[in-house]
Amino acid sequence: MPREYLKKATKTAQTGEAEVSRTVATMLADIEENGEPAARRYTAQLDGYKGPVVLSADDIAEACARVPQGLRDDIAFAHDNVRRFAEAQKQSVRDVQTEVVPGLIAGQRTIPCNAAGCYIPGGRYSHVASAIMTVTTAKVAGVSHIAACSPPRPGTGLPPAIIFAAHLCGADTILAMGGVQGIAAMTFGLFGLPRADILAGPGNQYVAEAKRILFGRVGIDMVAGPTDSLILADASADPHIVATDLVSQAEHGYNSPVWLVTDDRALAQEVARRVPDLIAALPDLNRASAEAAWRDYAEIILCDDREDMAACSDTYAPEHLTVQAADLDWWLERLTCYGSLFLGEETTVSYGDKATGTNHVLPTSGAAKYTGGLSVHKYMKVVTWQRATRAGSKSVALATARISRTEGMEGHARSADVRLAKYFPGEVFDLAAQT
């Protein structure tokens, strides 16, 4: 039977995109033309902040001193986990070389970007963990200069915990500037920064749109929309934990989709019953976000069996995918489209968001069908090289000349011809197009 929607979303992640794009394009053009004064103007207008943009060493030291030791320890714990995982990831891609044919060696090098811009959200919530995720991976990759920016609070600037985390993880420059203007500052090289080669980090729809518009002029980790989460649960799942996990992700923002996919009607109904009470028990700000997300974007989908559940999940390609169902190994092998996978009740998206070591900057809006999340590899270029002896170039030159002429690219053919004539004088070769 077809899938049954016990709850159907009335909005999608694309709702309202056009107006956001127009606003962001205008701001970027203004900042590119007018530079630092325009960026400062937007920070004063949008964030109510007129203080220093670039934090000095004294600013950083003073902020770090205000972070309680317990919080320092927690941030250091999360940083160590992210660093260790990033180091392991880095080892998975190495410099290699191979002799393709006798006398012809081809190789690959991994080269870190020279400058990275890391965005740390700070509007609704102070995303300390985003500083850990973005800056740590750039540092492990070997990026020469890492800039970190975050929205300042009116009159007070950046939260000390964000400053501490960015500094601990290896940021070379910390900017009290967020939003489109923060992205622009790192891209255009304002406030003494080198122009960023790559931008990374989550943000609201304005930050995401700025990265999308600038992509090509600068690299980005991914085109991102609102965060989304899907839970696959069967009759063995605990409805209270399922409901709690859905609510925990809905609090991200008013437009953060959460989805439950199950083959058990009783579980679906019980989760739907519990969610409103769990939302109501949140603090005011969190509650408002979760209420809107659950009302407008959440879905509960009833499937025939686990195979149909897996197929449904792959269609949605969620940013965060949780499995609370029997036979976790089957799900691990079967599922193919997700940003990060959380297997079993004993782990949760919240763990990955903060401290497990895997990155929480992940593909949204179905992008997990073709890309993974932020990793040490995003800050590294995999480039190739080749070297040949004169003897080794012979077979390649012959093939190059004939393929080029078959394509009609005579100039390419002649770059092979001249080498054959120089390296093998007196030899006659058939260099005509192959028809």
Q: Across the 435 residues of the chain, what is the mean pLDDT of every consecutive 10-residue run?
A: 87 76 97 98 96 97 98 98 97 95 97 98 87 98 98 94 98 98 98 98 93 97 92 98 98 94 98 98 96 97 98 98 98 98 97 96 95 96 97 96 97 98 96 89
Asked if residue 431 lies in contact with residue 398, where contact means CB atoms within 8 angstroms, the answer is yes
Strands 4-7 and 299-302: antiparallel
Residue with tokens 């000095």: 56
Residue range of the domain that includes 272: 4-15+226-372
CATH number for the domain harbouring residue 140: 3.40.50.1980
The pLDDT score that the predictor gives to residue 430 is: 94
Distance, in Å, from the CA atom of 26 to the CA atom of 316, rounded to the nearest integer, reads: 32
Would you tell me how many other CB atoms lie within 10 Å of the CB of residue 215? 13
Domain assignment of residue 82, yes or no: no
Assigned token pair, 55: 């934090």
Tell me: do 248 and 183 sit in the same domain.
Answer: no
CA 114 to chain centre: 19
Q: What span, in angstroms and rounded, lies between the C-alpha atoms of 116 and 302?
A: 43
394 and 281, same domain (yes or no): no
Distance of CA 68 to the CA centre of its chain: 30
| Chosen domain end from 322, 338, 372 | 372
Q: Do 122 and 232 sit in the same domain of this protein?
A: no
Q: Is residue 124 part of a domain?
A: yes
* Cβ count near 391 (within 10 Å): 12
Residue 284 and residue 172 share a domain:
no
Structure tokens at 269: 């109904």
Q: β-strand 104-112 against 96-101: which pairing, if any?
A: antiparallel
Structure tokens belonging to residue 258: 């959460």
Pairing of strands 229-233, 219-220: unpaired
In a domain, 20, yes or no: no
Residue 309 backbone phi and psi in degrees, to 5: -60, -45
User: CB of 141 within 8 A of CB of 90?
Assistant: yes
Same domain, 210 and 130: yes
How far is C-alpha 2 from the chain's CA centre? 34
pLDDT for the residue 1? 61
| Cβ pair 325, 232 in contact under 8 A | yes
Shortest CA distance to 349 belongs to which of 204, 199, 241?
241
Residue 77 domain flag: no
Q: What is the pTM of this model?
A: 0.93
Query: Nearest-CA neighbor of 255 among 46, 15, 3, 58?
Result: 15
Alpha-carbon distance 222 to 238, whole Å?
34
Q: What is the pLDDT of residue 14?
A: 67
Indicate the helix (H) or strand (E) that contains 322: strand 320-324
Structure confidence at residue 32 (pLDDT): 98
C-beta separation of 342 from 313 below 8 A: no
- Residues labelled catalytic: 319-320
Q: Are residues 201 and 100 in the same domain?
A: yes
DSSP SS3 for 213: helix
